Amino acid sequence: MQRYWAGTLNEIDKLLAKKKYYVFLAIEIAICILMLILDKLFARASDGFITFGAADLSLMMLTFFIHVYIPLIIFMASCDAFSSEYNDGTVKAILIRPVTRLKVYLSKITSVMLLALGYLAALFLTTVTLELLFGEGLRSFWVSVGAYILDIVPLFVLLLMAVLMNQLAKSSSLTMFLLILVYVLLTVLGIFIPQLSGLLFTGYAQWHNLWLGQTIPFWPMIAKIGLLAGYATIFMSGGYYLFERREF
Amino acid sequence: MEKILEVTGLTKLYRNGRGASNISLTLERGDVVGLLGPNGSGKTTTMKAIVGLVHADSGTVKIFGHDVEEDFEKAMDRVGCLIEAPSLYEYMTAAANLRLASRYYPGVTKKRIEDVLKLVRLDKYKKDRVGRFSLGMKQRLGLALAFLSEPELLILDEPANGLDIEGIVEIREIILRLAREKNITFLISSHIAAEIEKTCNKVAVLHEGEMLSFDTMEDALARYPTLEDYYLDKVRNKRGPLVL
């Protein structure tokens, strides 16, 4: 385990050595502030008639960030952790150390997931702070907490898919392009063919909607959990198989 | 003598037919073994298969008695290596590159990082980003990364690559000193016979993926005036005399 954690720490260090992740974090916070300002301006101009729903800013922003922004961060970070290192040969710096490929693979996944969680935590803290300072207080604090925690599940499945794709494409830019393309296609497919939505893992991005604010039908929920677990297993085992067989 | 590395019938052929075929060699503690051969002779492929960067088609590799395919961590625990170009994170400093590697070895301290930087004369540049380094400096840092964990077996692929004359001599002296004083075992590849002759006590000649010979330097030089003559004789025996 010591070497798994050493690897995870190293991967986090490498990701945080890249300035773009700080810039994207600043943009994330700026979007939240901008949204609040726009909401206030529109509400004032229309005597409260037009509002973006910023009273529940944390939940409103979660919808946008969980569908668009954080998936992009996950795609970018997975490319940095895998395909970029294949391209420039730096992955060899790890593979010649006394650590198994399974631990290398898991430590890279863990680090990207922790980065995504960092973005999610920053989003939560920013929106909750803004709600406290400029909103109507924390009306749905615990619902927000639950939603943020629950939405980690589909993000993890998405990350495993991104890591699998990284084992297939040859360059990091091509991988990034393919990831965006596949993600958009699956999302659009889920919108235009509602019957498919329940079968695609991208249809569960707002996982919290299935759990919060309603009585949970037991068997359908078990089926949905099983579906996501199935996707996660396929992505994880397929990705690891390709990583293990890869030659450098 | 304790067997440090045992390679038996190692074969790794790529789709283009190149690679290494049926390589067998044994390194005992304190040996400095040179793999001598031209580009494309299978030196790097052999080294990559030894450290698990490529999977062998057949044959076995045991390091300190542990099979590389089956017990990778134990096999590689006391191994340092530099294969092909040094694998460096160019957006990080020299010290940061060493710090990342050090985390895999609980015994490696900050002082050890300072020591290896001094050993390869990069201590003045430890806070500089590697992306700004010259080829020679990168090679020195690659060697520092190989030396970092105080390994008992060092596998160095063309260690003099990119170094100036002074640098080549320094690296040779470091290798000889570590072998003599700390009884460290080395497997070194080079296409320069004179370099192998000055550094190693055993030599294996590789040509077109095959190992043509494996002798002690003493035996090789007892029969031929230089290692270059020894090498040329082995190669000519295999492919026949050169026709002009």
In this prediction, residue A53 carries a pLDDT of 63
In this prediction, residue B29 carries a pLDDT of 94
pLDDT, average across residues A112-137: 91
Residue A104 above 70 pLDDT? Answer: yes
Closest Cα partner for A37 from A122, A134, A105, A115? Answer: A134
In this prediction, residue B91 carries a pLDDT of 95
Contact call for residues A81 and A179 (beta carbons, < 8 A):
no
Q: How confident is the model at residue B116 (pLDDT cuts 50, 70, 90)?
A: very high
pLDDT, average across residues A115-122: 98
Q: Which tokens go with B233? A: 């004789």
Nearest beta carbon to residue B53 from set A6, A90, A95: A95
pLDDT, average across residues A8-23: 97
Rounded CA-CA distance B241/B244 in Å is 10
In this prediction, residue B4 carries a pLDDT of 96
- The C-alpha of B58 sits at a distance from chain A's nearest C-alpha, in angstroms, of 15
pLDDT, average across residues B150-156: 96
In this prediction, residue A52 carries a pLDDT of 66
Contact call for residues B209 and B238 (beta carbons, < 8 A):
no
Residues of chain B found within 8 Å of residue A90, distances taken between Cβ atoms: 87-89
Please indicate whether residue A141 or residue B46 has the higher confidence score (pLDDT).
Answer: B46
Summary mean pLDDT of chain A: 90
- The C-alpha of B79 sits at a distance from chain A's nearest C-alpha, in angstroms, of 8
Look up tokens 């109507």; give the residue. Answer: A136
Rounded CA-CA distance B91/B129 in Å is 6
**Level-2 CATH architecture, domain B1-78+151-238:** 3-Layer(aba) Sandwich (3.40)
| Interval A128-169: pLDDT, tens | 999 888 876 666 788 889 889 989 999 999 999 999 999 998
| Interval B171-198: pLDDT, tens | 899 899 999 999 999 999 999 999 999 9
pLDDT, average across residues A73-79: 98
In this prediction, residue A170 carries a pLDDT of 81
Helix (H), strand (E), coil (C) string for A49-101: CCCCCHHHHHHHHHHHHHHHHHHHHHHHHHHHHCHHHHHHCCHHHHHCCCCCH
Nearest beta carbon to residue A96 from set B81, B89, B92: B81
pLDDT, average across residues B211-220: 95
Helix pair angle (B165-182, B135-147), 10° resolution? 10
Summary mean pLDDT of chain B: 94
Contact call for residues A124 and A97 (beta carbons, < 8 A):
no
| Interval B68-99: pLDDT, tens | 999 999 999 999 999 998 999 999 999 999 99
Helix pair angle (A101-134, A70-81), 10° resolution? 150
ipTM: 0.90
Q: Which tokens go with A146? A: 């639950």
Q: Which tokens go with A51? A: 């509002």
What are the DSSP calls for A136-172, one per residue?
A: S--TTHHHHHHHHHHTHHHHHHHHHHHHHHHHH-SSH
Domain spans of chain A?
Answer: 2-245
- The C-alpha of A15 sits at a distance from chain B's nearest C-alpha, in angstroms, of 11
Domain spans of chain B?
Answer: 1-78+151-238, 80-150
Quick one: chain B helix, strand, coil %, rounded to 5?
Answer: 40, 25, 35
In this prediction, residue B244 carries a pLDDT of 62
Q: Do B89 and A17 touch (CB under 8 A)?
A: yes
pLDDT, average across residues A22-46: 91
